[in-house]
Structure 1
Amino acid sequence: MSNKALEGVTVVELATFIAVPAAGRMLADMGATVIKIESLDGDNLRYTAPTEGRPLNQYENTTFDLENANKRGIAINTKTEAGRKILFQLLEKADIFLTNWRPKARERAGLSYESLKAKFPKLVYASVTGYGESGPDQDLPGFDYTAFFARAGILGSLYQKGTVPMNVIPGLGDHQCAMGLVSGVLAAYIRAMNTGLGEYVSTNLLHTSIYTQAIMVQAAQYPDYGQPYPIDRRTTTSPFVLAYKTRDERFVQVCMPVYDAYYAKFMSCIGRPDLAEDERYTRLQEVAKHKRSPEVYDIVWAQIEQKTAQEWRQIFIENDIPFSVAQTWEEVLQDEQAWAIDVFYSMKYDNGSEKALVRSPISMRECGLPEYRRAPLLGEDSPAILRELGYSEEDIAGLESNKDISVWRD
């Protein structure tokens, strides 16, 4: 008997790029059978390597494996009658349907929630869009660069005043969306098991981003307090939640949100015990009132510059100061703690290459670590999946010949 949490659950995924496939990956890791449906040209995520600074190689595709490991894959032309028939045969066996097609495209294809609910009343139907499914911008194309980072306020707020917005990277917003979608899907699946009734679960990049920033978005309603963003980090109300440069040109991020509780200890740690009881700086309310934050910032900056990142690391650990050295991705790949908690899996590709691939951040002690099977090549599992639906070898050959499906061939 398998100990996987979602053993026996069937998921059909009709989605491209990252957010929804990432959710499908998490469900697959939990033991669900996830069948990824692609067009005959394949998910565009198969071809993004040059943008990410990787070689384009379908046999060693780290990004595609990240979002699609542990799934099965079939390539279908959903525009033909035979292709649509296969799609609906798969949906008939599904417990959960995942998609990121925009609402109007789903409607045209007969894949709206209302249409599928009539045919499959117990089906959990889950969707991610850029901007949601109502309002004037519901049909705009949405990526995390645009909907998550820009529209929702990150790029317009969280950068050093007088400079330019930070350089963004793919997947950050999508992965946030994926975790939200999975939580909703699992709740809806439990409801379906208990009541026999399906549900429509949705999230979107815009709402997810605003939610992740909600503390400060809500605080922006108090213009008479604090500062409107973007801000100059030197004038931040609390200088104890910033990054400071070390002697060896690294940055150390500290986080002491209760300034008053940490003040005396921190000032002593950084070599200014003479200021530990200085009433000008001991209470943040007074610091803010008299606009002394830049003074404290300059003091801390001058002290941190005197030692290396490694030296500060030892001092802060010994004194229980919340901190972290700002690491590069190359350093993260070597991080002992990350490896100790199974963040990474060492994938050995058939071409002899070995690369560290990231696992999804959900652990189940009794179920154990999920296996990490590479993502299917385009149409790799098409024949096997069709056989399970009752198609003969002759049928499969005919479907391939008619371009209703595609099959991976080396």
Structure 2
Amino acid sequence: MTKPLAGVKVVELATFIAGPCCARFLADLGADVIKIESPKGDPLRYTAVNEGRPYGDAEDTSFTLENTGKRCVTLNTKTENGKAALEKLLASADVFITNIRPNGLKRAGLDYETLKQKYPKLVFGYVSGYGEKGPARDLPGFDYTAFFARGGVMGTMYDVDAKPMTPVAGFGDHQVGMYLAAGILAALYRARETGKGDQVTVSLFHSAIWDIGLYLQCNQYGDSSTQWPISQKKIANQFQVPHKTKDDQWIMMSMPQYDAMYDRFMPVIEREDLIGDPRFYPQTALQDHLEEFYEIIHQEVAKYTKDEFCSRMDAADLPYAVCQTWNQVLEDPQAWGADCLTKVTFPNGKERTMVRTPVVFTDTEMPEYERGHFLGEDTRAVLAQLGYSQAQIDAMIAAGEATDVTRIG
């Protein structure tokens, strides 16, 4: 079966997560993705200690997550011959993805304005920390800083009596990667139709602001219930707050239509006596009794185990979910049933659970999940396809202008 992006060539000169995540998704769709790394390799190859996993290529789940399905080429693009090889790749590419900061791109002659003069159909996918305009455009940005912190997530998503959460690495990066993929696909279609490429830029900062957009606009009205960080006891809708069960499991309810759900929820906690109580119903009356109502729900939910409370919510057909930890997600039957997860065997023989990208097709078969390629694993093959002789490739490798298979650790 022909994949949607069969025949599309993508050159990736990006590190860490956001840009590589985008290119990995395009590879899933059938694109031929060539990942260019410096002789030192993508820094993501060196983050094992951060993630508590074995060091080296033999079981590099992090690199595999973002780079499965790609060919890995190592070039020293600061040398004349390394830069020439990159230019040959770009000359035949449909898409170029990078996260090099603007000044570095311009110095290397890899900025969009320069490239579009040579390759007018090229789609330029750019990952930025803070965007291409504004006073922070040249600042370094990671999802911890540009997305979680400055983007308004970390400063609000905690109880006012607590402290900011510890961010989940890659959370913002993955959103940026998928947003960028959407833009690239639109620009690719335009290029096919008109012969003109475009630059698609997605920043961590803007993505976070978009993600919190619902409450960002609510905040402007000044109501105390939207001035986060806030105590959970003062949330305007007490059916949108997590509560702990008897066996210390947190349950997140989500019933945005408070008035429509009130009478259905009271039997769940066996408090039919509260049906019609003017302190708590309708929602406009609740606003003067938020903390009192919070304590009632908190105490009643704590009388049940997780399974007991979930069973009662299921019987009432009310929306909720257990606040699962990562080890619970790895065993979640829905995660396996919906093909969110799969197994990959690594070179050391270990089998690990890996996450699939979240876009699912009905009539398009996704590729087998394979381990990420070693540093320089495809250098010789790709350079040969560009017309380099084996002697020329050997000379480039000997001169440090390229490297072939390099295993780390």
The TM-score, its normalising length taken from structure 1, stands at: 0.98
1:224 deviates by: 4.4
Give the match for residue 207 of structure 2: 208
Structure 1 residue 57 displacement after superposition: 2.4
Give the SS at the match of 2:339: coil
Mapped partners of 1:274, 1:409: distance in 2: 70
Please give the per-residue CA displacement for 1:105-156, whole angstroms capped at 9, x wherever unaligned: 0000000101100000000011011000111110100000000000011111
> Counterpart of 1:85 in 2: which secondary structure?
helix
Q: 1:400 aligned to 379, 397, 401, which one?
A: 397
* Match runs of 1:272-283 below 5 Å: 272-283=271-282
> By how many angstroms is 1:348 displaced?
1.2
Identity of aligned residues (%): 45
Other structure's SS at 2:155 match: helix
Indicate the residue corresponding to 1:257 in structure 2. Answer: 256
Q: Deviations over 1:70-91 (max 9, x none)?
A: 0001000010000000000000
- Corresponding position: 1:74 with 2:73: yes
- When residues 158 and 97 of structure 1 are mapped into structure 2, their CA distance, relative to the original with a 3 A threshold, is same
Q: Please state whether the residue corresponding to 2:57 is helix, strand or coil.
A: coil
Q: Note the C-alpha offset of 1:370.
A: 2.4
1:350 shift after superposition: 2.4
Which residues in structure 2 correspond to 1:237-386 (within 5 Å)? 237-288=236-287, 291-386=288-383
Q: Deviations over 1:326-377 (max 9, x none)?
A: 1110110011001011111100122110000001101111112322122110
Aligned to 1:96: 95
SS at match of 2:344: strand
Contact 1:399–1:405, Cα closer than 8 Å, also in 2: yes
**2:154 counterpart of 1:155:** yes
Separation in 2, partners of 1:82, 1:226: 60
What is the Cα deviation at residue 42 of structure 1? 0.1
Letter in 1 for 2:399: N
TM-score by length of 2: 0.98
> Would the aligned equivalents of 2:225 and 2:234 in 1 still touch at CA under 8 Å?
no
Q: Any idea what the Cα deviations from partners look like across 1:29-87, whole Å, max 9, x if unmatched?
A: 00000000000000000011101121212121001000000000100001000000000
The one-letter amino acid paired with 2:206 is: H
Residues 38 and 73, structure 1, Cα contact 8 Å, conserved in 2: yes
- Quick one: which amino acid aligns to residue 407 of structure 1? D
Structure 1, unpaired ranges of 5+: none
Give the Cα separation in 2 of the matches to 1:276 and 1:49: 54
CA 1:185/1:216 → structure 2, altered by over 3 Å: closer, same or farther?
Answer: same
Distance 2:366 2:337 in 1: 13
Q: Aligned equivalents of 2:323 and 2:329: distance in 1?
A: 10
In structure 2, the partner of 1:169 is 168
Determine the C-alpha separation between the residues in 1 that align with 2:347 and 2:60: 12
Q: Indicate the SS of the match to 1:156.
A: coil
Gaps of 5+ in 2: none
CA contact 2:9–2:94 (8 Å) conserved in 1: yes
Q: Is contact 1:117-1:123 (8 Å) kept?
A: yes
Distance 2:307 2:122 in 1: 54
> How far apart are the structure 1 equivalents of 2:267 and 2:2?
52
Aligned ranges 1:108-127 → 2 under 5 Å: 108-127=107-126
Residue identity matched to 2:37 = E
- Per-residue deviation, 1:177: 0.4
Q: Secondary structure at the match of 1:16?
A: coil
Check conservation: 1:265, 1:276, Cα contact below 8 A: no
Q: Contact 2:218/2:226 (CA < 8 Å) preserved in 1?
A: no
How far apart are 1:272 and its partner, in Å? 0.3
Contact 1:29 1:70 in 2 (8 A): yes
Q: Deviations over 1:220-248 (max 9, x none)?
A: 11114634111111111111001001000
What SS class does the counterpart of residue 372 from structure 2 fall into?
Answer: coil
Tell me by how many angstroms 1:409 deviates. 4.6
Report matched runs for 1:224-239 at 5 Å: 224=223, 226-239=225-238
Instruction: Give the aligned partner of residue 18 of structure 2.
Output: 19
2: CA distance between counterparts of 1:401 and 1:61? 27
1:3–1:366: 8 Å Cα contact kept in structure 2?
Answer: no
Aligned counterpart, 1:387: 384
Q: Contact conserved, 1:264 with 1:282, CA < 8 A, in 2?
A: no
In 2 relative to 1, CA 277–208 (structure 1 residues): closer, same or farther, beyond 3 Å? same
